[in-house]
Structures are given as C-alpha cells and as structure tokens.
A and B are shown apart, each in its own frame.
Chain A
Amino acid sequence: MAYTKRLDGRKFDEMREIEGKVGVVKNADGSAMFKFGDTIAIAAVYGPKDLYPRFMQNPKKGKLRCYYDMISFSVNERKRPGPDRRSNEIGLVTEKSLTPVLSLENYPNAVIDVFVQIVQANAGTRCAGICAASLALADAGLDMKDLVCAVSAGVVDGKVLIDIDKYEEDVEGMTDIPVAILPRTGEVSLLQLDGKVNREELKEALELVKKVSKKIHNAQKKALQEKFK
C-alpha cells in the first residue's frame, strides 16, 4: 500500500511541534531542553575544565566529549539503565555533529563534557539531543560559529517526509535519515541512513531538512533570547 497520508495528519514537510528552553539544569555551566512533539531531550554542559588523565591533554586544542543516555522509562518497554552499544554510537555521532561549530583550539588542555538525556522518546531522539546539546553549548557561553539543527527525514514509497515519529519509523519500507545542519552555511554535520533510497530521494530529503532547519534555528534562537528577558 502506498504511503499517501501521515497518521497524525501532518503534511509531508511538517514537523511536530518544536520547543527549546535553556537553563534547565542549574548545576551545569550550560543546559537546555529540546522537544519534537513527545520526544524530549535535555542536555547539560560541564566545562571547559582540565582534562584528566593528564596524558590525554592536548596543548593545541580542547576535547569535546558527548554522552547520550535514554532513561529507563522514556520508552514503552523498559530500557535497561546504563550505556549500551547504541548509546555509545549516538554519543559519538553527537560529538561529530557538534565539533564543527566549536572553536576547540581556544581551550587548550581542556575538556567540554556534554551529557544528553532522553526523558521521553517517540523517535528522533538523537536529533532532539543534538538540538538540545547545541543550545546548551550556547547557554554555556562557549565560542561557537553557529548553532546545530538536527531532524530526521524519512523516505517511503518515493515520498519524502520530515521528522518521522515512532509509528512512521516502523512503517514497512521506511528509510530513516537523521541529519544535522549548520543553519548559517547549510553544511551537514550529521548524516546517517537506514533503509534504501536513490540519489534523487536523498537530495530531496536533504533539501527538505535544510528548509525546516530554519524553523529549528528560530526555536533555538527564541530559547536563547528568553534567557535574557
């Protein structure tokens, strides 16, 4: 059966409701929450601080470390607490998606720790985590070239849709493409793909992500402006 309509009535290029907020963890040097519908991520930044053990320090540039964790009751079937292979990988790709916007050379011998926690999950958690983490880095007042906007695109039956939810993720033949974009330049800092697409579809998906990333960027800017009200 061809995929002609989205279950929740959204248009193909319509995201769920998004919202950002900074300063959600008081102890942290910077923190933020980002929401895609029912998917809620919080992120906290600690640092820059001295990196230990000392032999890991680099006098030329600082280090960014990202950790991703889903809380046990964020999903329908309880997730065993603690890190696993999936969360390790997502921590890594989060790191890679944020690194291009940071000026790590300004923080020699230091480390910046970013902790992402998924409070409630309904697909798109790594993207929500990246949106929250980039906000938290800005909230921490670090030198940044840009924010990072991430969202998942989906391709099914030749159709491209944006911000797929859990139901859509499980649709037969759905290809999931999480993408992070630097909104000022349109450069891509995260790209993963599970499924099957052709070149045209991929291009269309990336263009769509680029288009909606403006909305994410606006929500992020709004969250940062709220802080100073």
Chain B
Amino acid sequence: MNKEYIVGLLEKSERIDGRKLDAYRKITVENGVSKNAEGSARVKIGDTEVIAGVKMDVGEPYFDSQDKGVLIMGAELSPLSSEDFEPGPPSTQAVELARVVDRGIRESNSIDMKKLCIKKKEKVWMVFIDIYIVNADGNLLDAAALASIAALKNAKFPEYDEKNERVKYGELSKKSIPLDKLPIACTLYKVGGKILADVSNEEEKIVEARLTVTMTEEGIHGMQKGGDKTLSIKEIDEMVKIAEVRTKELRALIK
C-alpha cells in the first residue's frame, strides 16, 4: 500500500478500511487473562492485541517519598508480535511507550500511593505493570494504556504474612488497588495534513506527527508529541477536542 493512495483517500476524508477519520476500530477489553497475575487484561483494538499484567511485592520506599508505594512500568515490543521488532533489550520505542503510560497514571494521581504504604520509611507495596504486545497493528499506545488501567482496576492485593515478611503469592485478598480515577490515553495522528484517530500499521508508517493525550474525568494529565513534523496550535486544539470525546468512550469500556 503506497503513501499516495492513503493520502489520496484522506483528501476525500476517507480511510483505507472505510472508517471515519476520528473513529476507532472495534475494541474489546477482557479482564483476568492470567491466573498468576494479581490483575491482568487483554485489549484488542482492531488487529492490535496487547496484554497487561499487575504483579505486587513488598519493598523499600524511595528516599524522597517514604510514605508512598512504588509503581514500576515496563513494556515489551515482543518480536513475536511483528516482524518490525527484534529480540533484545527494550528498544527506545518500548521505553517511550512504558513511560508515557506510566506518566498518565502517575501524574493523574489515580492511585493513592500513600495507601500502598505499610510502614513509613521501611515497607511499602510495589506495583509492577508489564505490557506485552501480542500483535502489533498500529496505535499500540492507546491499547497499552487501556490494558494497564483495566489490569490495575481488576487487580487484588496478594495476602501478606506480616510476621515472616513474605508475600503469599497465589492467595489473593479481596482488597483492590486504591484507584480513584481512570486515566485514558488517546493518540491523534497527523497524516497528509488530516487528523486521524487509531491508525493501523499501514497508516502509522506515514504519520507526520502524533499527540498522545491522557485524560481522567477531571482533565488532561499527560501529553506526548511524537513524529518528525510540527503541529499548529489549531491542530493541537482540534486533537484535544477529539481526545475529550474518545477518552470518555474508552473509559466506559473499563469494568
């Protein structure tokens, strides 16, 4: 599929799969996909498939936040998911993906990190969220952010043996992670001068610029611009307007 063809269609406000410019492909969210995780979810957006899992452990707090828990986010663009990805340590793209999802959750203060403290200065809960791409067909970021939030929402603390200071994995309590808000990422892409949501792999290859907007019910908490070209203030405003609508729809999928 060549660039001229895609851009030619876009000039008529049409897309290669017949979608409207700001429409997503079919989205499914499936909770609890891995028995050994404290929380997990599988998100499919069109042919893009992502799984996210939450594992918890007890450890020491960071020096500068001694009464708060620890959140650690990782992402793997597994070579299983696309011929564009290769085995090896996380690529820059994977690191960016994890960090953007991480910031959305962290900066929105969605998790009450103080409630993850067991004993100030000594013991806190550490929450690991790991994202694995199973099939990559564009817009990985929105899928990864949605899967992470679904996995967090669905997670239960493991039982903790205070006396022996051991986490009893495999035994889940009824306690959920204190999640006050649901940060949702929506990425808008500029292709051929038009603004698109949820690009497929073919469209993503010719993206000029992109903007990820992470929102909760309260407003915007995170943004990340990518791509080699610029965006005008008018375009950014238009993108945020679309993100406001789409994040609301995406949030409704989290149960």
Interface residues of A (CB under 8 A from B): 24-28, 38, 42-44, 46, 49, 67, 69, 71-78, 81-83, 113, 115-117, 119-122
Q: Which of B83, B130, B136 contacts A71 (CB 8 A)?
A: B130
Which residues from B are CB-within-8-Å of A116? 80
Q: What is the chain B residue whose CB lies nearest that of A119? A: B34
Q: From A76, which residue of chain B is reached at the shortest CB distance?
A: B169
Q: Which residues of B are found within 8 Å of A78, using beta-carbon distances?
A: 55, 57, 128, 130
| Among B35, B130, B169, contact of A81 (Cβ-Cβ < 8 Å) | B130
Task: Select A42's contact among B79, B80, B136, B137, beta carbons within 8 Å.
Answer: B80
Known: A113-B79, A115-B79. A27 touches B135 (CB 8 A): yes
Smallest Cβ-Cβ distance to B87: which chain A residue: A67
Q: A26-B135, A27-B83, A27-B136 are in contact. Are A69 and B36 (CB under 8 A)?
A: no
Interface residues, chain B, with chain A CB atoms under 8 Å away: 33-38, 40, 47, 49, 51, 53-55, 57, 74, 76, 78-83, 87, 89-90, 128, 130, 132, 134-137, 169-170
Q: Chain B residues with Cβ under 8 A from A82's Cβ? A: 89-90
Q: Which of A38, A46, A73, A75 contacts B40 (CB 8 A)?
A: A73
Q: Is the CB of B79 within 8 A of A67?
A: yes
Please name all residues of chain B whose beta carbon is closer than 8 Å to the beta carbon of A42 when the two chains form the complex. 80, 134
A79 nearest in chain B by CB position: B55
A83 touches B80 (CB 8 A): no
Q: Please give me the residue from chain B that is nearest to A40 by CB atom.
A: B34
Q: Tell me the minimal C-beta distance from B39 to chain A in angstroms.
A: 9
**Measured CA separation A77–B128 after assembly (Å):** 11
Of A38, A72, A120, A121, which is within 8 A of B74 by CB? A72
